[in-house]
Structures are given as C-alpha cells and as structure tokens.
Structure 1
C-alpha cells in the first residue's frame, strides 16, 4: 500500500541532495553533456523543473503536458539557462509540487499521466521520487545507482518489472532478488486473455536474470547495458525505452 506522505518526505530529501550537489557546478559544466544521450546537464535540470509542474497538473486534474511537442520545446527553451536560474527553478517548482500534494484530496482516485497512462494518485509522489533520484544519477556528478537507498532501489525494480509485465516486446523472464525471491516480468507467451482473467498461472519462464540490485535497476531503467548481470536460459533481452 502506498504511503504518499512518506514518499513526499522522501521527495523533499532527494531534491535537497540533488540541489546541494548541483550547486557545486558552474555555468560551463551545466552546458556539458549529461549521461542521457543528446541532453546536457541543463536539459536534465530543466526537465526536473518542468516535470514537477506537470505533476502539479496531474494532481489538480489537468493534462500533464499540453502536448509531447510542447514538453520537449519547454525543456529545450530552459536548458541553456545559467546555473543559478536552473537551481532556483528546480527548487521553486519542487515547492509547488509539495504544496499541491499537501492539499486535501482523495488519494485513492485515478489520475492520468502522459500518453494515456493512468495510476492511483497515491503513487504520484513515488513517481516524482523516481524522477529526482534517477536524474540526479544522470547528471554525472558523483551520485551513482549504488548510492540509492535499498528501499528505493527495490521499489523501483518492482515498479519497472510491473511496467514490463505482459509487454509484447519483452520475453517472459524471472528477476532473481538478493533474498532469493523471483520477480516475474515480460510477456506471457501462449497464455490467452481468458486464462489470465481466470487466474491461470503459466509455467515459470526458463530465462532468469540476477545480479546486484544496482545493476538490475540500471538495466531495467535503461541506465546500464546489463553486462554485469548473470543470465540463465537464454540471452539478456534488450528492453524498450521507458
């Protein structure tokens, strides 16, 4: 069960970590490449600010973005700004998100995100936490996947495994956890909709992926190529972009 208030506190902490680390940059380093192809650090910071405002829209019942093109244009517009403007925007937009999330609301309601994706409102703070933590890593300023909390890493692995569950572009596989538990994801080949709806449990996949939690998260989130993982029963599949 989602604890949105606890996740909001985690978002605040993660945002402060990012702002403290990014404050050590200078204007020249903001214009340098991030770890995301085609994006500078300025693009990452601009995206974080605009994503906070977009999630305010979600919480208040408006479309997350006017359009995909408008989202991209806003990031391109804001990416070249100097460091002090970038940091102020990230901080102020984060404050607007926290303020919107503090308003009395039905956290069990369904909200709509990008591309028609829907979710429970209570999960929105966790989605923002994901944005802040992973994009802090993407800045390439010394914060790594290994620095993420065990709780966050496990929850994000679970979240991404659920996202790829029954995805036609991902073969059925099992992710082996540190504690020995198996987390299924990917397509259930040969299983009909009627079988799924009846609660039918298909045979377990032969393809198994295991490794350190940071490496599993990196592969699932498109941040690492998976070469550090151990694979049994076949080749490590390429995952579709998030």
Structure 2
C-alpha cells in the first residue's frame, strides 16, 4: 500500500514546486512558520532532504545500507549553506533535487519496499516504504511551513489520514485530550478536555505549528514535535 502513495508524493511535490517558482526574493527572505527559519531555509531543507533520501534509497535498491545524513550537524550545515544561495540558485537546487528523487522513486518496485536505510550512521533504521512516506510528509508539511497560500486546509484527506495517527500517538505521551472533528472523535492519551476543529487543523496544532486559533476548547501548551 505504501508504494501506492507515490502518485500523491509526486502531486504534492508539483504543488510545492509551483509555489516556489512563484516566490519573490522578498518572500524567500521572509519568515516561515518555523521559528528562526526564513522561507529560504525551508526550501533548502526540502531540497537537501530530497538529495539525501534519494541517495539513501538509491543505495538500498542496490542492496547497500547508506545513511540519509552523515550526521545531524552535517544536515544542519547543508541547510544553512543552501539557504544562503542566491534565490535563482536555490530554486534551481530544489527543482534539481526533487527531480533526482523522483527518478530514484520511479525505480522502486514492491520487492524493494522492505530494503533498509538509516537516518544517520549507526542510528535508527527505516524501510524504503517508510522513506517514501517520510518524503510525502516532508513535502506537504514544509509547503505549509512557508506560510503562503498553501495551508493545512490544502492537504488531502488521505494525507491527514496518514499523519494524524502518529501525531496522536506522539502527543499521548504528553497530554490527555479528546479531539473532535466533523468526522468523529479521537482520544489522545487517556482522553480529557475537548478540542474541536477540522482534522487538518488539529493535525497542524499537534505538530506544534500555529496558535490553534482555528480550534476551540481549552488548548494546552504543547512541547516540540520530534
């Protein structure tokens, strides 16, 4: 089933590329949703993530175990370096790395989905299937992090269905809540105070994004996500 997400990853990537292609230099320099990051940092991160995941997945298809990132420090340095590129060069980098990632993903077949890669050398491993879903999350969430026209309301129901359960599991270690949306109720932890809104807005808030201004209820302060 994970392999069937690929058309959605491609569509999400095309939407992101369209947004970035229209961004002005002033918008690149402006603040993103993420504290301390400009929109250029977000674009740089998505570009470098495509390059690094593409390399690791490509190696996995050859039966090799390669880390996505050399280290967390190297990842952060790559993002800072790419964010400092001239706008035209950064835009070109995003298009290039997303295209290269798609070339690798196009070669994935069902037999490859259980092949392994690791986030950093000696660190936690994930399967190629999990890596494909991780890329979908990166593209959709960071597109909204740009703080432009693409918002959580732009997410497909399928994407919200993909990301919400893991967010609920993560926050269940921290808070006890009952989430209500038009589609139904979800218990976080042992259940508790009610928070109401759309599933997309609930997911956005559980990620630690925004103030929850589109939600109603007694919202607790949440810690960082991941």
Global fold match (TM > 0.5)? yes
Partner of 2:62: none
Partner of 1:112: 118
2:2 corresponds in structure 1 to: 3
User: Which residue in 2 is equivalent to 1:238?
Assistant: 222
1:72 aligns with 2:76: yes
Equivalent in 87, 96, 99 of residue 100 of structure 2: 96
Q: Aligned pair in 2 of structure 1 residues 213, 15: CA closer, same or farther (>3 Å)?
A: same
Q: Distance in 1 between matches of 2:54 and 2:40?
A: 22
Alignment of 1:40-189 (within 5 A): 40-59=38-57, 60=59, 61-101=65-105, 102-104=107-109, 105-113=111-119, 116-165=123-172, 167=173, 170-182=174-186, 184-186=187-189
- Secondary structure of the residue aligned to 1:17 is helix
Larger helix proportion of the pair: 2
CA contact (8 A) 2:2 2:133 kept: no
Check the 8 A contact 1:31/1:80 in 2, yes or no: no
How far the C-alpha of 1:56 sits from its partner, in A, is: 2.1
In 1, the alpha carbon distance for the partners of 2:215 and 2:31 equals 27
Larger radius of gyration: 1
Q: For structure 2, which runs of at least 5 residues remain unmatched after alignment?
A: 60-64
Structure-2 separation of matches of 1:151 and 1:92: 27
Secondary structure of 2:91's counterpart equals helix
1:29 Cα deviation from its structure 2 partner: 2.7
Find 1:30's aligned residue among 28, 31, 41.
28
- Residues paired across the two proteins, number: 217
Distance in structure 1 (CA, Å) of the matches to 2:41 and 2:13: 17
- Alignment equivalent of 2:211, drawn from 212, 221, 225: 225
Alpha-carbon distance, 1:13 to partner = 1.2
Deviation at 1:74, TM superposition (A): 0.8
Instruction: Give the C-alpha shift of residue 96 in structure 1.
Output: 2.0
Q: CA deviation at 1:110?
A: 4.6
Does the 8 Å CA contact 1:46/1:78 hold for their aligned counterparts? yes
Superposition TM-score, scaled by structure 1 size: 0.78
